[in-house]
Amino acid sequence: MKLGQLLDLPTFHQLYSIPIERKAEQHENYIIVFSQGETLFVDSQSENGQTSQARFASHFTREQLLIGLGAVPHDSLDTCRILDIQPNISHRGATTSYLLENYGSLPHFKKMAERYRVHERSIIFDPYRYSYTVDEKKIAKDRGFTIVDQKDYKNFRDFKPFLQTNRGTVYALPCTYQDIKRQQETKIYIMGWYFYDQQIKISWKPSHSRKSRWRSSIIFIDKVTDKFFFQGELYKKGIFPIFLENLALSTGTSQKFPAVKQTYDHFLDTVNQQKIGTGVRKK
């Protein structure tokens, strides 16, 4: 089907021929993908209207599609595809596994699919593959980072820190979490991840108390939204879900150490890869 047919546009409309990709089960809920040197998605919440991360792709109803297409550069319209996807509570994002399972044959996702195939064929796993090393002197000058005591991670097999210096020091990464349900923002710290009994665990701690301890939590898939989350004492006196799509590195971290974001993105890719291989349990 073409966009013009869906919206009953005149045949001369410049957007008439944009393809709409659908599966047998139709949801009338869409994301917009296009290519501009790389695969991009329309993100109505970003300043330039686009993102390279599927988890930030905006959802559009039939009536909103023309507004969303306004974010696609004119010279990229011929690469544009509108994908019908399953809706979720946040009206945002799609998992990599969902896109590959339903639309993996599209040229936009060929590189992504190949990356997964390479991972599955890999026999030897490098435990430091996703660790980023920086110069000790550079980070020591920054008071925004705190050192993680070795006792908090030394017993984790093949532990992969998000930020490690050339002297082996591991630092905690400050993150902001957007709690959609409570409509508030809170801060947590993450330091790394590892496999435990074929499950992925992330090491983190909340910020509600100066004496908050590091804890490790299993990454699960929410049965309702199909989103990745872990859970713990995000606030005092209670266990709360922490969805990965709403967790972001602090702006200062991304600006000072751009490669740290790449390291974190590799972690997210690994979580998605584990889902394809049924290595992440639903809860």
73 closest CA partner among 114, 128, 112, 32: 32
Band the pLDDT of 143: cuts 50, 70, 90: low
pLDDT above 90 as % of the chain: 46
Beta-sheet pairing, 171-179 with 146-147: antiparallel
Q: Residue 40 has what pLDDT?
A: 95
Select the highest-mean-pLDDT range: 6-15, 108-117, 138-147. Answer: 6-15
Q: How does the average pLDDT of the chain come out, rounded?
A: 84
- Is residue 162 within 8 Å of 191, Cβ to Cβ? yes
pLDDT in tens, 157-174: 889 999 887 778 898 999
What tokens were used for 244?
């990965």
Asked whether the predicted pLDDT for residue 226 surpasses 80, the reply is yes
- CB of 109 within 8 A of CB of 81? no
pLDDT digits (tens, 9 = 90+) for 163-212: 887 778 898 999 999 999 888 999 999 999 998 877 899 999 999 887 88
Q: Are 188 and 171 in contact (CB under 8 A)?
A: no
Tell me the pTM.
0.52
Sorted by sequence, the CB contacts under 8 Å of residue 47 that are 6+ apart come out as none
* pLDDT of residue 142 exceeding 60: no
Query: Distance between CA 38 and CA 109 in Å, rounded?
Result: 10
Question: What is the predicted pLDDT for the residue at 42?
Answer: 96
How far is Cα 113 from Cα 104, in angstroms, rounded to an integer?
7
Residue 204 CA to residue 120 CA, distance in Å, equals 28
